[in-house]
Amino acid sequence: MRRTRRASAVLSGFQHPAKMIVTAFGLAVLLGTAALALPFATESGESADWLTALFTATSSVCVTGLAVVDLSAHWSVFGEVVIAVLIQIGGLGIMTLASLFTVLVSGRLGLRARLFAQEERKAIGMADVRHLLRRVVLFSLASEAVVAVILTLRFATGYGEPPGRAAYLGVFHAVTAFNNAGVTLWPDSLMRFVADPWICLTIAAAVITGGLGFPVVFELLRCWRRPSRWSLLTRITLTVTAVLLPLGTLLFLGTEWSNPHTLGALDESDRVLAGFFAAAMPRSAGFNSLDISQMYPSSWLTTDLLMFIGGGSAGTAGGIKVTTFGLLAFVIWSELRGETHVNIGHRRLPESAQRQAVTIAVISVTVIVVATYILLVLTPHSLDQVMFEVVSAFTTCGLSTGITSDISPAGHALLVLLMFVGRIGPLTFGSALALKERTRRYELPEERIIVG
């Protein structure tokens, strides 16, 4: 009887969707670490040390792209396939794959599985969760297939790669691009393709599509001709994205135009392409066609801000999300105007959404500041380089100024934690650690204080 009660108590601790998501991602990281620690996962045939395997597995599952070793030189084909599989699992979401497997096996989706899927994919309602999961997987695979075909043809015809090798490169980078992982099979990322629009624009399109978020993409496919029927989520996501992409491009072009180590070495048309690519990648993809380490510190700050904002909700991108950033902008604007409610278009924003946006932003800033301080103590690098690394890890972007491999083991462990927390999300991770939810059954008297 005691064993039964004890087992029930243990199981009850995992009934909250947030706790299940943390547990599932943790298990995926551990399994990936074990697979990458196998001798035949490396080119040398020797087992990778546990921290390198853990760092790579976490970076893959959390679709970040940071690396402590040269992926193409250190890992074997088996290791590269493991990394691609982990990226695919992390992009779709553990709960999405588990729920889809339940549908395929039993033909029905239970209430608890629906709750898990809803929490992972941020679905608005539960009625269409099963249908949504199927569409998510099909759309992801179809998008990756299109990108893989384009890249394969380009590698084969433009760079003389054999058909098999071209297909391997095309599929691998299609997976890493759509899932916003930013992992490449070249030591210089995509710098060798800086002037190739077929490679850069295809990768950028995959990154932007995957980073918009599945609810937004599906709504656009369903009623793209009727913007008046778009939801608030779609409008905010598209508006903020439409502002950040050209603004980021202009900032990079204006700052790096004459830098002989970045844009200054290119033709004018290639500079525009490279500037756009540099603005699109910080949404959460760690690809770079320019040498990040040779950029001016002002460009690093621009990248920090873009990485912090990230991409759309319920997609493969990281950051606080463009919706959170957009909501905060409307909250500030309404407060400056002295309005009692936050109105966006013809809709009033719930106070719960406002509190959630503020909480996510404050927690994210706090985590970044604390982690930056700790990493500054652990490493000899400058503040701008360390902050760049911390923001990149926490927002699961994967861009780096080139100091990742030079950080101490303790610093690598900190980056692993940042990537994991950043992928799960501050609120999800926090609620998973909470012992229980508490609902206050009474209201206290109100007292205003001086703010500012």
Q: Give the pLDDT confidence score for residue 172 in this predicted structure.
A: 97
Q: Is residue 181 part of a domain?
A: yes
What residue numbers bound the domain in which 275 lies? Answer: 14-431
Q: Is residue 443 part of a domain?
A: no
Question: What token pair was written down for 384?
Answer: 């701008």
How many independent structural domains does the chain possess?
1
Question: Which of 425 and 208 is assigned the larger pLDDT?
Answer: 208
Most confident of the following: 19-28, 35-44, 427-436: 35-44
| Residue written as token pair 């058909």 | 163
Q: Is residue 437 part of a domain?
A: no
Q: Is the pLDDT of residue 367 over 60?
A: yes
pLDDT, tens digit, 9 for 90 and up, residues 331-345? 998 888 888 888 887
Please give the backbone phi and psi of residue 260, each rounded to the nearest 5 degrees, phi first: -65, -15
Assess contact for 182 and 281: CB atoms under 8 A.
yes
> pTM for this structure?
0.87
pLDDT, tens digit, 9 for 90 and up, residues 196-245? 999 999 999 999 998 888 888 888 888 877 887 888 888 999 999 999 99
Question: What token pair was written down for 236?
Answer: 């905010």
Q: Is residue 4 part of a domain?
A: no
Q: Is residue 446 part of a domain?
A: no
Task: Single out the residue of 188, 87, 198 nearest to residue 140, CA to CA.
Answer: 87
d(C-alpha 381, C-alpha 390), whole Å: 12
Which residues, 6+ apart, have CB-to-CB distance to 233 below 8 Å?
213, 215, 216, 219, 313, 323
pLDDT, tens digit, 9 for 90 and up, residues 65-109? 999 999 889 999 999 999 999 999 988 876 565 555 544 444 544
Task: Single out the residue of 172, 192, 194, 193 nearest to residue 184, CA to CA.
Answer: 172
Q: Is residue 147 part of a domain?
A: yes
Assess contact for 206 and 143: CB atoms under 8 A.
yes
Q: Is residue 40 part of a domain?
A: yes
- Least trusted range by pLDDT, from 91-100, 183-192, 315-324: 91-100
Residue 117 to residues 99, 231, 447, Cα–Cα distance (Å):
7, 21, 41
Q: Is residue 9 part of a domain?
A: no
d(C-alpha 244, C-alpha 322), whole Å: 9
